[in-house]
Amino acid sequence: MVEDQSSTVKEINLKSELEKDLSYANGQILSSMNCQAEVQAREIFIQNLESNLGDPALFPGTKNIESHVIRILGQLFDLPENGTGLILTGGSEANITALWAIRNNERDRKDLSNSRPLEIIAPQSAHISINKAADLLNLKLISIPVTKKYQIDIKKTKQAISSNTIGIVGVAGTTAFGTIDPLWDLNELCLENNLPLHIDAAFGGMVFPFLPNVQEFNLSFKLKSLISMTVDVHKMGRVNIPAGGLLWKDKTYPMAIEFTLPYLAGNPKQHTLSGTRSGASSVAFAHLWKKIGFRGFQSDVIRCIHNTKFLAGELKSRGFKIPIEPIINILGVQIPDSLSLSQEDFHIALWENGWTTSLVNGALRFVIMPATSRAHLSRLLSVIDQLLTDV
């Protein structure tokens, strides 16, 4: 029997609980790829809290705005006219949805029976959401080692392709070091083997297109085998959680995961895990893009990367090792050998001093987001200097 919860559950003091949370605004969160939303984006988000893209007959305007956001993002990656996309809850949902579509398309195209384990190839550097997708979709994940540059090893990828392979995942902006896989080579491999390529640019998607040397990275739907790309707007896209993004080169591709809701007005077709889903982030991003545009995003990206390089240089001069030189605003460092403190303890000490970092792949990771300025980093360096002299 269910009891009256009001008498058994103790009251919670919301205010005192929320006071325990950290805030992006103080510039000291260096462990997160999420950001302090732009003030303008946040206001528009709040005004559109109720909009539901799962029921486009009720919110046709918001649906058009989502399509507009897909075109804005698409422009950054040469998405063809026939392309499409969705604003989802985040990079994990986008990656899972992308692999869901790949699995169904490839299974149907190759007439692969379910008795054979279908295989998906991804670098060891891939985000955990790829493991989740493989688990959910009953795929065998073939994890390819990375090179010294923390990029997928192309030779080993080639060796791993089998008749059960249904696709390859490349990463643009790895979670640990921000590196980007050799996408041109992955594309060639996919073409040779008639396989689709998915790129996880959850973080890098809103960074690489703004770099002066963007062409070098081939992060573009001009790559013939590229089918889908994850690009989050709640990371460097500067809008509130939840706002992941998924682009498909061809409108027909997601039809393999299409479900119709016959009882709703207009019989909407869904290509999403969620039914009810917020339209607020799409409106917030469309508004922000209108206000600050390509150049506004570009100046934030460039500033973040300069700050990251500044921090790398300062830490290097203090004896820290930089296993991978940062190319974007993610820096992984290893503490000096001379230090009697372990990396783990150093990381804890930084947290105790109010600076949050992560331990990823044997390195202390700093993600330098727009809320962190040069002045914040100078304060961080004073804390680090203190820690170095204390031990």
* Residues near ligand 0PR, by CB under 6 A: 32-34, 90-92, 95, 127, 129, 171, 173, 175, 200, 202-203, 232, 244
Q: Give the nearer residue to ligand 0PR in terms of CB position, either 55 or 181.
A: 181
Q: Give the nearer residue to ligand 0PR in terms of CB position, either 32 or 193.
A: 32
* Cβ-contact 270, 66 below 8 angstroms: no
Least Å distance, CB 337 to ligand 0PR, is 27
Q: Give the nearer residue to ligand 0PR in terms of CB position, either 95 or 307.
A: 95
Least Å distance, CB 317 to ligand 0PR, is 27
* Torsion angle in degrees (nearest 10) through CA of 280, 286, 292, 295: 130
CA 269/CA 260 separation, integer angstroms? 4
Q: Name the strand (E) or helix (H) holding 60.
A: helix 60-76
Q: Give the nearer residue to ligand 0PR in terms of CB position, either 153 or 200.
A: 200
Q: Give the nearer residue to ligand 0PR in terms of CB position, either 55 or 87.
A: 87
Least Å distance, CB 365 to ligand 0PR, is 8
Least Å distance, CB 387 to ligand 0PR, is 23
CA 374/CA 377 separation, integer angstroms? 5
Least Å distance, CB 145 to ligand 0PR, is 18
**Distance in angstroms between the alpha carbons of the first and the last residue of the chain:** 58
Q: Which contacts (CB < 8 Å, 24+ apart) does range 67-75 have?
A: 68/286, 69/233, 69/245, 69/282, 69/285, 69/286, 69/289, 70/245, 70/247, 72/285, 72/286, 72/289, 73/205, 73/231, 73/233, 73/245, 73/247, 74/221, 74/247
Strand boundaries in 269-337, DSSP class E: 269-270, 330-333
Q: Give the nearer residue to ligand 0PR in terms of CB position, either 42 or 158.
A: 42
Least Å distance, CB 36 to ligand 0PR, is 12
